[in-house]
Structures are given as structure tokens and as C-alpha cells.
Structure 1
Amino acid sequence: MSVAPVLDPTVRHLYVHVPFCPSICPYCDFHVLTRRAGLVEAYLAKLDEEAARLADTHDVALDTVYLGGGTPSFLRDAELSALVGSVRRHLGWGRVENTLEVNPGTVSADRAALWRDLGLDRASVGVQSLDDATLRFLGRQHDARQARDAVTTLVDTAFRVSGDLITAVPGQPLDGDIRGLVELGVGHVSAYTLTIEPGTEFARRGVTVDEDDERRGFERTEALLGEHGFTRYEISNYARPGQQSQHNLSYWHGRTYLGLGPGAAGHYPAAGGSRILTTRRTNPHLHEWLAGAAGEDDPIDAHEYVTDALFMGLRLREGLDVADLSRRSGLDVRAAYAAPINANVARGLLTLDGDRLRATPQGWWLLNRVVTDFLEASPAEQAESP
């Protein structure tokens, strides 16, 4: 039986997309572009308008703010100050965590101090590697020395620092990259396998990733970071105690969030009295966004809400609480999805302990297959009204 869903009507998380980069990396398929005269000014003016509109249309009490991109730290000091001012004026500021994505080549002691004064307290640094040859292959504009200096400066300025790594790069000294990051004092590491996306420069050049290298990187990263006190709390993310990304956890826990800026995606509570639980909205790219084009809305019903939550929640080591998911969605998840749950438990890809559903290590590796089973399920509750 379906029951009335219980969703928090207050949005507590904000993602701000800054699309500008000093250069476009050959593996990148995000909405990014290099800056041109007048473009950043137009972006900041439009961002202020959009922030005001979001404040008027949603109940907002922010716990986390995440400035991503692109390269938010590529903004000039006055520009970043204006962006933060718009967010604070219209939407408030995160009470728990406020993250800035940082390119190592943009860091100095004075800039780090300014960022802290603006209220940013966590830095996600695009290190990618601490090996110069690997960085050149990846098309990065910084070298290993700049990456080390940037992380050290941010740690010394009292940021909580996360270092990004790309793994499975041909010839990469992965052990050295991992040990080097740990020695610099980061409390968090995000390690992503090099992925060749259609339309990128790497795709046009025919670059490929060896699956055996991918699997070795997946396993070696966990083993080596584990030796240094980091726990893999999500498929691609590792943290020392208390250093998990609270903003990203909101995604993995299936919470709603605001998306601000061109290309930004938001996940919003839907109006009451509808079969639609939430709405995902994706903003258009910069030039269409500046011209006032509307975002694309994707209404999410209970079934899609549950499958999305399963896909995200099973990425976590802790998995997810199916009783809580049932309460939020209004569906009896254990009954509606008994077939895919039981089948994947039998395959050794999932475990179900009480109400706690988790992916096994092999389930993590085959998570797309697991989620496909849930997507293909047709629970009877879909046909019932809440």
C-alpha cells in the first residue's frame, strides 16, 4: 500500500555553478568555457537575479553551500566577493559547510585568506596527480610543485582540504600520488577513474582506459588510503574521521538542493497534493541562461524517487535505510522492490541487515547492473495514488 510521503519542505543545500576555466581539459565534459570581456559581469548580474527568484519560490535554510565549476577560484577577488554577496543577501549561508572548488594555479596566501574571510571553510583542490608527466598527459595547467604549494597554503589557512585524484592514467605513479597527498595533510580524497566521455578531446584522440588498470586503481586506492587512516565512505570518496563532504552526502542521501547558475541542476520539493514528489531542474548553458531561457524540469514520482535514492544511497558504504526511504517516498520499498533486492542479495551484490541495504565490494564494482534491476522493476504501488 502507498501512504502519504513525508519529505522535508525546506531546502538545506545549494550548488552554485561557475562555468569559467583558464583552459579546457581534454577529459572534461562539464559546461565550462574560457572567460571573455564582459561575460563574467553579465554572469554575476544574472546570478543575483536567479538567487533572488529562488529565495522567493522556496523555503530555504542552508546547511551547505558548494561553489563548483568550472573553476570558481579562477574568478577575480572582487568577482568571487560579489558572488558570495549575492548568495548571502538572498539565500543566506551554510551553517555546516561551505566549499570552494580550487585550481592549484589560482592559490596564494592572500587569496586563501580572502576566501576564508568570505566564509568559505572547505577547499576541494583539483590536484589530479602529483606527477608532472601525468599532469601533462591530462592537459592540466599546473605542475606538481604548484599543487603541493596550493594544498599546503590552504591547510595553513585553516581550510578543510579535499584533494582530487584521477586514477587509471597510463604510466601514473598512483602510490606516489596517494602518499604525497596524505603527507600534505588533506583530510579527504576524491579518486575518480579517468573516463573518456563522447565529445571530449580525449575521445577525439582515441584515448582509452584499460579495465584492468581501472580495477587495480579502484582497489589500490582503498588499500593505501586505508593504511593512512582514511575510510572509503562512498565509492569514490575517502575521509579521515569527521572529514566527509557534508554537501555531497546530501546528494547521496537523496535530499533536495538548489541549483544556481548556468548548467546547474537542482532537486526541489514539489507542491503538495500531487503524485509528483520532487522536481529536478537543469538550467540551460550560459548564453541561453543569460538570455532568460527557462530550465528543463523533470517531474519525479515515487517510483523514480526511490530508484534515484537507491542509485545514490548504494554508493555509500553505510548504504541506506529502506524504512526511511519508504517514509520519504510513500512506497513500501521492501515489498515493491522485493525481486531486485532478493536477486542481488543472492548474487552477493547486496546485503540486507534489518532495514539497512548495502552494496558489497563486488556490488560497488557492478553498481550500474544492480541499479538497472531496480529500474526494470514495476512495483504495483506505482499504479496507486498516495
Structure 2
Amino acid sequence: MTAPVLPPSDSTIRHLYVHVPFCPSICPYCDFHVLTRRAGLVEAYLERIETEAAELAARYDVDLDTVYLGGGTPSFLRDTEITALVGSVRRHLGWGRLENTLEINPGTVNAERAALWRGLGIDRASVGVQSLDDATLKFLGRTHDSAQAKAAVTTLLDAGFRVSGDLITAVPGQPLEADIAGLVALGVGHISAYTLTIEPGTEFARRGVTVEEDDERAGFERTEELLTAHGFERYEISNYARPGQQSRHNLAYWGNRFYLGLGPGAAGHYPAQENAGALLGQRRTNPHLHEWLTGAVGEAQPIDAEEYVTDALFMGLRVQKGISLSDLTRRSGLDVESRYAVPLKANVARGLLALEGDTLRATPQGWWALNKVITDFLED
């Protein structure tokens, strides 16, 4: 093992995720840290955001390229509240030079609000469409209907946003072809398509809702066929884009870059602190709202060279273009091709990975079995 070579610019944090946990209602499939608003909670949240943003600015070298306001439903914040939130970020951490995204529920959009968000410096909208079929939306527990979703996308495009639409696939009875054709026809430049997953502890799990693996895989494969036919490029397992419309923020995650996590339940990937020896970084997830409001922080999880490599492989193999093994060797100080020769050769032989020169990619079959592929590396 050689010493890792991390240029100074690599330890500068260029990406920020802000978690807004408030939602008008909780969807039955959701297992994120979300809650409905109660008297005084949003005000307390905004005060703590101001303090935490200042703490992060004092601790790290920050020069932002992207900001992502996620949730929850950030667009559920009132106009004065989202203005205050963006103000806290700008005061202490700056703003993204390349891309600034807001997650949006279609029921929260009108022309005046879209203009406000653009005026705050938000230029990309990630809209939770989920489906354009009213029966499917009702089954998913969404509070908007298809007409509201279409109107929201049109309003945001007219206001000058780059718009991404979220879809959930493998929903029983869903007209997938019509959903995709309808969303494409609206003019979005990016589509995130996720198969319905039943997570423990959710309302769907309590109801006994299930998704058959065959249906999940069929939705996964049919989505690619349809979106590719419409001129979208699948650049990541669940993400499709027209040229120039890829999510720059999410590409930072998949590239295993450092990013700040601001807000309750927010995860961050940070450079190693001084005198950290062979450690290359640390990950930390903030506690949930009520504990976070007291000033509590999540426990740091140190990242050594092997953890750095397996993290980078797990994220990088999600992306169509794959990952450079020589770059990963340079960053980690670990000879990746030699250290992981056994799982590399085994998964190439199984047709799950492809090694072309220096580039390691997951095949279409490997994308479906990516968790198993990464387990082989972790167990090696």
C-alpha cells in the first residue's frame, strides 16, 4: 500500500445537502426522516439551521458547486421560511456555482412561488410526480392529482427551471407506458425512476403490501426501453437525462466526493480531520429532529483505505460510465486491481462486471445484482 495522494482541492467540500423534514402528509411507502409540521417546530428548525451552518463553515474548507434542498418536502415551507433557510446557507456556506436543486411537491406550485424560488437562486426543480395516473397516485397516498402534476411541471419550465420528474414504477395496475410518455411530453430534461420498495416500518409494510421481484424487474427493464426510445440516456441505475441535463449534485455522490449534510437526519461525507493518520475521511448522519434541535451531532464513522474503495465502487458502479481503477488507486493509496483481484475476476466471469482497460463498469445484469457484487468485495 502506498500513501494516498489527495490534492488539496480534493479536500475542499463542494457540495451541500440540506434536509427539510416537514411534509403535509406521510406517504405510505416513505421511510425517510419526515414529519408533519407542528406549532413552533419550523421556527426552531430554522434557528438550528443557522447555528449548524455556521459550525460547518468554521470546521471545513467549503467552496460550493451544488446545493440540494431535499426532504421531506422543502417546497412545503412557507415563502418567508424558505427565504430564511436559503439566507442561512448563503450567509455561512455560500451558494452553488453550478446547480441548486429544490425538491418540490406538485401541490405546492404556482407561478408566484416559482418566481420566488428562482429569485432565491434555485435553478433546478426535482418534482415528485410519481405517476400521471390518478388511481396510481391515490394508491401511493399522494396528495396531488395528475392535473396538478402536469400544471406544476409546466409552471416550473416556464419559470426557467431545469426540471426533473420522479416516477415510481412496479406499482400494481400502473399504466407505465402512459406515465413515461406523458412526463416526456411535458418537456422535462431528466427523469428519476425508482421501483416501488416496501420498507419495514412503513404504512405499506403494516398493510402487507408486496411487490413481486418479477414485476420489479419488468418495470426496471421496461422503463429503460421506453425512456431510451424517447431519447433519454440512462446515466445511472435509476436516472435518465437528455444531453446536459444530468444531476451534477447526485454525480458528486456517485463519484464518492465530499459533501456537507445540514439538518436533522442529513448525512455527510467529510475529509479526515488533522492528525487522522491513514484515515481518508469520515461519514456522519445527524440525529432526528428533536435530538438535533438540542445541538446533538451524529457519531463520526472513520473511513480507511479499504472502506473508501468499497464505498467508491458501490457508488461508482451505479453510473453508466463506471469508475477508473487507476484514479481510485491514486485516491486511496491501495492497489485496487491487485487487492480485489478475486471478486473482480469472479464478477467479470459471471457477466456482472466489465473491465475495459482501466474502466470498471457494471453490466445491465450487474446493475440488477449490484448489492451482491459489492458484498463480494466487502467479504474478500
Q: Aligning the two structures, in what range does the TM-score lie when normalised by the shorter sequence? A: over 0.9
Structure 2: runs of 5 or more not aligned: none
Is residue 123–residue 154 contact of structure 1 (8 Å, CA) maintained in 2?
A: yes
- Of residues 268-277 and 45-54 in structure 1, the stretch that sits farther from structure 2 once superposed is 268-277
2:53 paired residue number: 51
SS in 2 for 1:49: helix
The residue aligned with 1:128 is: 130
Q: How is 1:23-172 mapped onto 2 (pairs within 5 angstroms)? A: 23-172=25-174
Quick one: which of 371, 374, 379 aligns to 2:374? 371
Q: Please say if 1:22 is aligned against 2:24.
A: yes
Asked whether 1:325 is paired with 2:328, we answer yes
- Find the counterpart in structure 1 of residue 3 from structure 2: 3
The yes-or-no answer on 1:278 pairing with 2:281 is: yes
Distance 1:53 1:271 in 2: 15
On the 8 A contact 1:6/1:330 being kept in 2, the answer is no
- 2:229 and 2:312 mapped to 1: Cα distance? 31
State yes or no: 1:314 paired with 2:317.
Answer: yes
Query: In 2, are the aligned partners of 1:26 and 1:139 still within 8 Å (CA)?
Result: yes
Task: Tell me the CA shift for residue 272 of structure 1.
Answer: 4.1
After TM superposition, what 4+ stretches of structure 1 lie above 4 angstroms from structure 2?
none
2:307 maps to 1:304: yes
- 1:12 pairs with 8, 14, 21, which one? 14
Counterpart of 1:380 in structure 2 is none
Q: How many angstroms apart in 2 are the aligned matches of 1:5 and 1:262?
A: 33
C-alpha RMSD of matched pairs (Å): 0.8
Contact 1:100 1:124 in 2 (8 A): yes
Q: Which residue of 2 aligns with 1:254?
A: 256
| Partner Cα separation in structure 2 for residue 234 and residue 132 of structure 1 | 28
**SS in structure 1 at match of 2:31:** coil
Does the 8 Å contact 1:14/1:258 carry over to 2?
A: yes
SS at the partner of 1:342? Answer: helix
Q: 2:296 aligns with which of 293, 299, 306?
A: 293
Shift of 1:22: 0.1
Letter in 2 for 1:86: S
8 Å CA contact 1:20, 1:71 repeated in 2: yes
Residue 337 of structure 2 is aligned with which of 334, 345, 351? 334
Post-superposition Cα deviations, 1:199-247, rounded to whole Å, max 9, x if no partner, equal 0000000000011111111111111111111000000000000000000
Q: Distance in 1 between matches of 2:3 and 2:294?
A: 42
Q: What SS does structure 2 have at the residue aligned with 1:40?
A: helix
What residue number does 1:267 align with?
269
One-letter code aligned to 2:56: L
**Residues 94-140 of structure 1 deviation map (CA, whole Å, 9 limit, x = unaligned):** 00000000000000000000000000000000000000000000000
Provide the rounded CA distance (Å) in 2 between the counterparts of 1:272 and 1:41.
Answer: 35
Does the aligned pair in 2 maintain the 1:319–1:359 contact within 8 Å?
yes
C-alpha contact (below 8 Å) 1:17/1:67 kept by paired residues: yes
Of 152, 166, 189, the residue aligned with 1:187 is: 189
Rounded Cα–Cα distance in structure 2 between residues aligned with 1:343 and 1:87: 46
Tell me the TM-score normalised to structure 1 length: 0.97
Matched position secondary structure for 1:196: coil
Give 2:2's aligned amino acid: S
Distance 1:168 1:222 in 2: 13
| Count of aligned pairs between the two proteins | 377
TM-score relative to the length of structure 2: 0.98
Partner of 2:205: 203
Partner Cα separation in structure 1 for residue 94 and residue 154 of structure 2: 30
Matched residue type, 1:277: L
Verify the 8 A CA contact 1:62 1:95 in the aligned structure 2: yes
Q: In the TM superposition, what is the alpha-carbon distance from 1:66 to its structure 2 partner?
A: 0.1
Counterpart code for 1:262: P
Deviations along 1:13-45, one digit per CA (max 9) or x if unpaired, are: 000000000000000000000001111000000
Deviation at 1:4, TM superposition (A): 2.8
**1:230 counterpart = 2:232:** yes
In 2, distance between residues paired with 1:343 and 1:242?
A: 35
Taking the aligned partners of 1:121 and 1:312, their CA distance within structure 2 comes to 25
Distance 1:341 1:154 in 2: 45
Q: 1:257-286: CA deviations, max 9, x gaps? A: 000000000000002441211110110000
Between the aligned partners of 1:90 and 1:252, the Cα distance in structure 2 is 26
- Structure-1 separation of matches of 2:133 and 2:201: 26
Give me the whole-angstrom Cα distance separating, in 2, the residues matched to 1:248 and 1:226: 20
Q: Deviations over 1:183-211 (max 9, x none)?
A: 00000000000000000000000000011
CA drift of 1:288 comes to 0.3
Percent identity reads 77
